Amino acid sequence: MNSSRRDFIRKATATGAAIIAAPAVFGSEELAKRRRSAEPVVPFKLKYAPSLGMFREHAGTDPVDNIKFCYDQGFRAMFDNGFPKRPVDEQDKIANEMQKLGMLLGPYVLYADFSVTSFVLNKPEVREMLINKMKEGVEVVKRTGAKWALMVPGRYDEKLHRDFQTANVIDNLRYCCEIAEPEGLTIVLEPLNTLRNHPGLFLTGIPQAYSICRAVNSTSCKIVNDIYHQQITEGNLIPNIEAAWDEIAAFHCGDNPGRNEPYTGEINFKNVFKYIYSRKYEGVICMEHGKSLKGKEGELKLLEAYREADSFEV
């Protein structure tokens, strides 16, 4: 790491604490020792959420060590797309550590099959599958308190008019919400871009997702606005966030092109985050992207990018 980057990281924290530099893998005892010896880092203004394992070069592979490391760097949220697939005891450890530290766990993926038509169809077998998925999500909520479940409505049906498909998506989501709402589980629908990553999907834009959530009319049906996907699909990021605000429950982010950390592409993250902060947003912004550099240097560059993006004036 060059001297200018070291200087930036020191200046980005009011306490002047440096980023923890540790071996690629070390045990919980060593991590705790390093944490006790370091001055606290000023928390970020917003709840940016690294994925579990995003800082494995510094924190190792243990999920709890990763959570502690991220907390020490000022993060107050995490996300894990594959959370429901982890062993139950590991889910419990993750949830307990995050609750102890007062951190939020962002949306996990409950259903996202990009290969089939599903939500767009009015078929009993589709409805049964979705209801069973919702029951799985409810069990995760009861056990861990993880209350946001991400769902992707699947592929567009070339043989069925789009308006009929929209009506079917709304009806299927209403069935899902009948199970989710009493248990405090919130479905977050993710519109995805079809130009680069996911051709053929039904749900692509924020206005489209907004109209569906309004029609479903449930506190358990909201949007996860992925800034990376929406920069590709439609741009107009801040006005669309503003227009859909009442139906947005979470954000994903990544720069475009490349889908890496802020300031590796074209998005003005400082302005986007400043607007989100101005709305007194208390939810998560999942860092669903890669790193432009490998190894420890890439992890430090990522931290530097988020400190810069979070340095907007309030």
What residues are labeled active site?
Answer: 190, 288
Pairing assessment for the beta strands 77-78 and 47-49 based on DSSP bridges: unpaired
Q: Who's near 296: CB < 8 A, 6+ residues apart?
A: 1, 21, 24, 57, 58
> Are 272 and 227 in contact, with CB atoms under 8 Å apart?
yes
Convert 48-65 into a string of H (helix), E (strand) and C (coil): EECECCCCHHHHCCCHHH
Alpha-carbon gap, residue 205 to 234, rounded angstroms: 7
Alpha-carbon gap, residue 146 to 274, rounded angstroms: 27
Alpha-carbon gap, residue 68 to 128, rounded angstroms: 40
Q: Which of 53, 56, 58, 113 is nearest to 83 (CA)?
A: 53
- Give the amino acid at 262: P
DSSP label at 103?
Answer: P
Tokens of 215: 């029609």
Distance of CA 284 to the CA centre of its chain: 7
Tokens of 76: 């107050």
